[in-house]
Amino acid sequence: MDENIYLKEEHFMIRDMVREFAEKEVKPIAGEIDEKARFPEENIKKMAELGLLGIIFPEEYGGAGMDTIAYSIVMEELAKVCASHAITVAAHISLCSNPIYMFGTEQQKQKYLVPLATGKHLGAFGLTEAEAGSDAQGTKTTAEKKNGYYIINGSKLFCTNSGVAGTYIITAVTGKKGDKKEISAFIVERDMEGLIIGKKEDKMGWRGSDTHQIFFENLKVPEENLLGEKGRGFKEAMITLDSGRISVAAMSLGIAEGAYEAARAYSKERKAFGKSICDFQSIQFMLADMAVGIEAARELVYKASWLKDNGKPYAKYSAMAKLFASELAMKTTSNALQIHGGYGYVKDYPVERFFRDAKACEIGEGTSEIQRLIIGRYILREI
């Protein structure tokens, strides 16, 4: 990482700060929150105090005014130790706070972005529905305008942070344009009448993160809480995901690094046939492949971040980074577990948690198949 051309002095500073926090405060509870599926509220407060919950937003909105590379480093360092902490911050920043920053009015930014960026409360984003996952245009939730309010009915699935959030960005159908649904985005407050938090999902990985189904029963949202233009909610959600994918890519990179470092250390300690297992070529080959993949993933993650920071088109690269890094995380965690042998399959070592956490990175914010579709569209358009 020290040799990376994208990094400046402030990036090393943020890396050291988050690494120390992750080692001191996150690592000791990572196994426990995974086992109990407990949301680490105490550390969310500490991350707010460190300014991590608003890292990419200007200081005038309560943020730390840092760039996307700094944010990717935060994701990488947190996920290296605990993916649940990382995804909580990612959903809060990329999926809820960032669309308010990108598409919100000045009044909405003051009212909602400032408390989010300062960590007064957390944010969530509800796009996915029972019949609208990859095909997000299948949205069935409706928003009907009546007497200065939108009345929202429907539900959202797999909504990260939804049981602990104070602010939600949700999408709903507001009409039809020809034969296509017109989808709009709304800012919803936790206390608004008609927002119902459903059951908590019992997940395979990211178990310390808070994921629920949410329901809207005649949810009354003031007209001024429409986010961006009416009818542009789908486009806004896609732009939100273009940038959000950088954070899942950075998380995946962190998970791969955590698993690689654990496997490398274990391979030096563990003895078989009278020598350390790292002396076997097959183990060295696995470690070598992990090291190469991690370097390549980091280049993609930082390149996508750099492009965004420099106002250049980045959506193709954020999809590439997400696809490559999440599949690398899966492969790396699987081989790291293999290097641990039977000990990798039990909960005494963190590799089995890394393995379970890596899987979600291939699904959330667009599956690997959807990333390939996006990349395919870009590369064919370029020809």
Ligand X SMILES: Cc1cc2nc3c(=O)[nH]c(=O)nc-3n(C[C@H](O)[C@H](O)[C@H](O)COP(=O)(O)OP(=O)(O)OC[C@H]3O[C@@H](n4cnc5c(N)ncnc54)[C@H](O)[C@@H]3O)c2cc1C
Residues that bind ligand X (CB under 6 A): 91, 95, 125-128, 133-134, 158-160, 203, 206, 211, 360, 363-367, 369-370, 373
Question: How far apart are alpha carbons 285 and 282 in whole angstroms?
Answer: 5
DSSP-derived pairing of the beta strands 165-177 and 180-189: antiparallel
Task: Determine whether 365 is an active site residue.
Answer: yes
Tell me the chain's radius of gyration from C-alpha atoms. 21
Question: How far apart are alpha carbons 113 and 99 in whole angstroms?
Answer: 10
263, two tokens: 């496997």
Query: For tokens 């994208």, what's the residue?
Result: 6
Cβ closest to ligand X, residue 47 vs residue 370 = 370
Q: What is the DSSP letter of 158?
A: E
Residue of 257, 365, 369, 382 marked active site:
365
DSSP-derived pairing of the beta strands 271-272 and 275-276: antiparallel
Q: Smallest distance, Å, CB 92 to ligand X?
A: 10
Cβ closest to ligand X, residue 88 vs residue 267 = 88
Q: Smallest distance, Å, CB 317 to ligand X?
A: 20
DSSP string, 100-151: HHHH--HHHIIIIIHHHHTTSSEEEEE--BTTBSSSGGG---EEEEETTEEE
210: nearest Cα among 201, 222, 220, 223? 201
Q: Smallest distance, Å, CB 141 to ligand X?
A: 11
How far is the first Cα of the chain from the last one, in angstroms, to the nearest whole number?
A: 34
Q: Smallest distance, Å, CB 291 to ligand X?
A: 28
Cβ closest to ligand X, residue 323 vs residue 360 = 360
225: nearest Cα among 172, 180, 182? 172
Question: How far apart are alpha carbons 331 and 349 in whole angstroms?
Answer: 18
Residue type, 201: E
Q: Smallest distance, Å, CB 167 to ligand X?
A: 13
240: nearest Cα among 231, 222, 228? 228
371, two tokens: 């990333």
Q: Smallest distance, Å, CB 241 to ligand X?
A: 8
Cβ closest to ligand X, residue 101 vs residue 306 = 101
Cβ closest to ligand X, residue 160 vs residue 174 = 160
Cβ closest to ligand X, residue 94 vs residue 267 = 94
297: nearest Cα among 252, 330, 333, 338? 252
Q: Which residue is nearest to ligand X (CB)?
A: 133
Beta pairing partners, 142: 153, 173
Catalytic residues: 365
